[in-house]
Structure 1
Amino acid sequence: MQIQYRDPSLPERRRSTDTWAYHFAAIIQSAEIAIVSKDLDGIVTSWNPAAEQIFGYTAQEMIGQSIRRVFPPDRLWEEDLILSKVRNGQHVHHYESQRVTKSGMAITVALTISPISDASGKIIGASKIARDVSEEREFRRAVERAKDQFISNVSHELRTPLTSIKAALKLLEMGGSRNDDPRSAALFRIANDNAERLLRLVDDLLDFQRLEAKTTIDLRTCRITEVVRPAVESVSALGELRSVELLCDMAEVSDDTAVMADPTRLQQVLLNLLANALKHSPRESKIQIKVAPEGNDLSIRVIDEGSGIPEDQLERIFERFEQVDKTDARHEGGVGLGLAISRNIVEQHGGRIWAERNDAKKPGAPGSTFTLILPCAAVL
């Protein structure tokens, strides 16, 4: 005779589970944000009333259909990238993108996407939370345009008199030289140099203010080679002038390796890192630029053979107005904003940037390594 054990609490557990599922379903149905689920092929498996309101399609029209139905033609590649991340168990947080409603209207949505697993832990799909932020974004753009206009006016008002002062000082310096007055010429030269430094300071401050307002980042899919190579070429002449060799190693990536980036701003970061490396590199030394994949990310390293950065300043140099050696500001015209601006740009790209001493990794190795990590996009 086989004796079967019956758990007396089983009906209660089932009732508890059913009650929880009922409440969870009610929350999804009454939520004011779109909550959608799909399988690993992008086929919609659930579509709540808020999704109907935002996108214009009913649940009957969307369930069983591809989620790509609400994608603009130029953003279909995003779904492949999203599904790739989901299959790897990754989450996509606070991602803004464009979608298209049933009526054909383009809207801006803020997305959060998470993998869905079955009872065994196997990933079987994804849940998506979407919120229409079109009005919010338009409001932000209006505010940003007002800030841009203000910054533009300030820039004009500050630069115009400074440029005039600089030109007048240059003329006076030339006049002093013709009159064989070395002391006057030297004083005019000092004043002219400081006017030039002040102009650079104004430019840096205005650039940092623009970045603080986050008005200048325009992310798109771009080939990493089209970002790195022009940046290296831009400083190659300066490298030759200083007898510093620039070595660009991109052997581990293909010409089609891509990142989601603003090419102009990312080049600004690389140019700043390369300019700093050149500033601190001795003659007959080398600067290496290495680009390589790192999991789902891409790394860009700028390695110099300079004197290196003191251990206690490796993080401080990314703060505003901080420099390794304050004498560099006097000789090179730096104001300590370049790395702060660079970190701001990188963080807006969803990446990271930091500095290390080379001798910390390899005893006796001179110089510093600046590492930039960016999320990789789908290969073009």
Structure 2
Amino acid sequence: MPYQSTTRGSTVAIWVPALLSIAVFIADTRTPRGVVLCTAYIPLIYFGLQFSRARMVFLYAAIASIMTLAGAFLKHPSAVTLWMLLTNRIVNVAVIWWTAEQLFQHRVVREVLAQQELMALRQDAAGKASLLATIVDSSDEAIISKSLDGTIKSWNRGAERIFGYREDEVVGRPISMLIPTELLQQEAQILDAMVHGRAIEHFETVRLHKNGSRIEVSITVSPIRDLQGRVIGASKNLREVGSRKGTEAMLAAVVNNAIDGLLTLDEACNIETFNRSCQEMFGYAESEVVGRNINMLLPERYYSEHAGYFADAHRSAESRNGASRAEVNGRRKDGSVFPADLSVSAFQLAGNRHFSAIIRDITEKKRAEEEAANYTRALVRSNQALDEFAYAASHDLKAPLRVIDNASKWLEEDLEEHLTGEIRENMQMLRGRVKRMDRLLNDLLAYSRIGRKTDADFFEIVSGDALMKDVLSMVTSPAGFEITVDPAFAGLSLCRMPLQQILMNLVSNAIKHHDRKTGRIDVIVDPGEKMHTFEVRDDGPGIDPRFQARIFDMFQTLKPRDQVEGSGMGLAMVRKNVEVFGGTVAVESDGRGSIFRFTWPAQQPDIERAVVASTAGAPA
């Protein structure tokens, strides 16, 4: 039986046990003395539980005890003696009080447990209320509650951020302070919906900031009900959509103005979006393709091949490997076919699979590649012709020079007695010009083969010390010249060719063009992780800045060839060798002395790749 926590006992708890106890008392007095009906008083004790005070059960137990004992003296005489009857009644009274005590203890325990449960529920409710308040207050959205008359009751930080008002500035004031005058009717409609218990979701409208500016917002309104289910107010969630719309507009503008074609497809490969570049590329308007299958943009013979790209894109998305990319063929509205670069990515949106595709027309790229291939073939033919010319220069052109040299000697021998000093000098000058021409042809042949002809020396690795010993052994150094080599060469491993030829040319030039009988030449190296830097320094006459850019050109000399023997090809070959292997060369001279500086790959694999790249396509 449920307990009633009231200050007064219920009417039932007073009158029902009174009537029942009278009925039991009368029945008890009308029965013979040997019959005991007083046990019927025990259920009356339970009515004491109907009162808010637990001790009321003892009052009912006392009443039941009095009526039990009183009934013993008012019963009809019988064979049972009075002391036996009293003993029986005393036992029943003891049972009545024991029952009352048990009910009292049970009531106390239940009340304690109920109090503990109530406290736990209150603490839980307080914790949840605190958590809810924290969530509401930290939300980026504005969460506002109001009464049915439009008065603001609560205001979170999101509302403060969006509208600029503090909580103490708005609570208790009408919600209309946030609404433009021309939109007040909307608020009346919202309140009417709340009174009838209807929610409003994602209603986009305009509200006012504290500074008077208008804010585009999306509003969700829900009714607030009391425990009886009556609507007593409304809760509003407001989210700014102005910045979102701006972002969406910007994104749409970027997509629509992208150089590449951008389109999206659903899982069945039906087109969902089709940007402006796609429209220009394929010749279709967006309305002509949206909702149709991607196959309309592809040549029929490639249907199965293109379907595989989208399957690959899905597998790539699942394994997080990125997009599937391939060169494909597209079909324009007029039926013409063009090559395209296609990149496909799969993504999930609202639980559904979609594809994004980037398409680039590579017609011009293919045309450029074909032109480059033609140029390469032409270059191979040109290199072959150059080789043939170099062969002719080294054989066919040198043969007449040998004849001229030999003929001049024969004439000089045959006409020995008739030659004057001037004629002998002219004959020597003739043979000198023949030697110069022969040297020029040799240098021209060597220059033509740089980067195209290699031998075992290009892959031979020697120590830096050994390389410099070979260089100095092949350079004719006058007695008054001192050549020093940087100790850093000792710790380096270098390829023999063409590095040996480069250093030999630079050292020889420093000696050849020196203006004194004595001089100093320093060969220095600065080891690097990727590139070594070499320098050849001299204390010669220096190089005028006007000529520094020209000295690396073919056939360029700073002095007449009659003064300095040379073909003018040495520095040109130095530059070509250095650049073929990915280095740079430069000269510094400011007044007296010159510094020739060049860089060279530090790693042998880099040199080997340069050799392979430079000889690719060259005829054998």
The match for 1:196 is: 435
Deviations 1:17-73 (A, max 9, x none): 67769847999xx9xxxxxxxxxxxxx97673259xxxxxxx9xxxxxxxxxxxxxx
The match for 2:182 is: none
Is residue 244 from structure 1 mapped to residue 481 from structure 2 by the alignment? Answer: yes
The match for 1:93 is: none
Q: Per-residue deviation at 1:250?
A: 5.0
| d(CA) in 2 for partners of 1:195, 1:22 | 64
Assess if the C-alpha contact under 8 Å between 2:471 and 2:503 holds in 1: no
Letter of the aligned partner of 1:370 in structure 2?
F
Structure of larger gyration radius:
2
The match for 1:49 is: 326
Assess if the C-alpha contact under 8 Å between 1:159 and 1:199 holds in 2: yes
**CA 1:275 to 1:221, structure 2 compared with 1: closer, same or farther past 3 Å?**
closer
Assess if the C-alpha contact under 8 Å between 2:465 and 2:490 holds in 1: no
Assess if the C-alpha contact under 8 Å between 1:358 and 1:369 holds in 2: no
Q: Secondary structure at the match of 2:397?
A: helix
Is residue 151 from structure 1 mapped to residue 393 from structure 2 by the alignment? Answer: no
Is residue 290 from structure 1 mapped to residue 524 from structure 2 by the alignment? Answer: yes
| d(CA) in 2 for partners of 1:48, 1:336 | 53
In the TM superposition, 1:213-232 aligns within 5 A as 215-216=452-453, 229-230=466-467
C-alpha RMSD over aligned residues: 4.4
Q: Per-residue deviation at 1:196?
A: 0.8
Bigger mean CA deviation after superposition, 240-249 or 227-236: 227-236
**CA 1:12 to 1:228, structure 2 compared with 1: closer, same or farther past 3 Å?**
farther
**CA 1:312 to 1:172, structure 2 compared with 1: closer, same or farther past 3 Å?**
same
The match for 2:600 is: 374
Q: Per-residue deviation at 1:313?
A: 1.8
The match for 1:271 is: 504
Assess if the C-alpha contact under 8 Å between 2:540 and 2:593 holds in 1: yes
Q: Secondary structure at the match of 1:355?
A: strand
Letter of the aligned partner of 2:574 in structure 1?
S
Letter of the aligned partner of 1:163 in structure 2?
R
Letter of the aligned partner of 2:578 in structure 1?
V
The match for 1:301 is: 535
Query: How much identity, in percent, do the aligned residues show?
Result: 23
Assess if the C-alpha contact under 8 Å between 1:235 and 1:271 holds in 2: yes
Q: Per-residue deviation at 1:355?
A: 1.3
Assess if the C-alpha contact under 8 Å between 1:224 and 1:255 holds in 2: no
Deviations 1:288-342 (A, max 9, x none): 111113574321111112122123222222233322222xx11432232322232
| d(CA) in 2 for partners of 1:136, 1:219 | 30
Assess if the C-alpha contact under 8 Å between 1:176 and 1:184 holds in 2: no
Q: Secondary structure at the match of 1:373?
A: strand
The match for 1:339 is: 571
| d(CA) in 2 for partners of 1:298, 1:254 | 12
Assess if the C-alpha contact under 8 Å between 1:256 and 1:379 holds in 2: no
Q: Secondary structure at the match of 1:189?
A: helix
Correspondent of 1:350 among 582, 587, 591: 582
Q: Per-residue deviation at 1:242?
A: 4.5
Is residue 161 from structure 1 mapped to residue 400 from structure 2 by the alignment? Answer: yes
Q: Secondary structure at the match of 1:318?
A: coil
Bigger mean CA deviation after superposition, 218-227 or 10-19: 218-227
Deviations 1:113-151 (A, max 9, x none): xxxxxxxxxxxxxxxxx99x9997676445422431233
Q: Per-residue deviation at 1:186?
A: 3.0
| d(CA) in 2 for partners of 1:25, 1:220 | 57
Letter of the aligned partner of 2:555 in structure 1?
F
Assess if the C-alpha contact under 8 Å between 1:290 and 1:301 holds in 2: yes
Is residue 2 from structure 1 mapped to residue 157 from structure 2 by the alignment? Answer: yes
Letter of the aligned partner of 1:244 in structure 2?
F
Letter of the aligned partner of 2:554 in structure 1?
R
Q: Secondary structure at the match of 1:334?
A: coil
In the TM superposition, 1:169-188 aligns within 5 A as 169-173=408-412, 182-188=421-427
Correspondent of 2:555 among 318, 321, 333: 321
Deviations 1:154-184 (A, max 9, x none): 3321101102221332344466668896554
| d(CA) in 2 for partners of 1:265, 1:188 | 37
| d(CA) in 2 for partners of 1:319, 1:158 | 23
| d(CA) in 2 for partners of 1:271, 1:25 | 62
Assess if the C-alpha contact under 8 Å between 1:232 and 1:271 holds in 2: no
**CA 1:284 to 1:333, structure 2 compared with 1: closer, same or farther past 3 Å?**
closer
Letter of the aligned partner of 1:288 in structure 2?
D
| d(CA) in 1 for partners of 2:455, 2:254 | 46
| d(CA) in 2 for partners of 1:221, 1:182 | 49
The structure showing larger relative contact order (alpha-carbon pairs under 8 Å, at least 6 residues apart) is 1
Assess if the C-alpha contact under 8 Å between 1:155 and 1:206 holds in 2: yes
Assess if the C-alpha contact under 8 Å between 2:482 and 2:519 holds in 1: yes
In the TM superposition, 1:83-94 aligns within 5 A as none
| d(CA) in 2 for partners of 1:370, 1:338 | 13
Letter of the aligned partner of 2:157 in structure 1?
Q
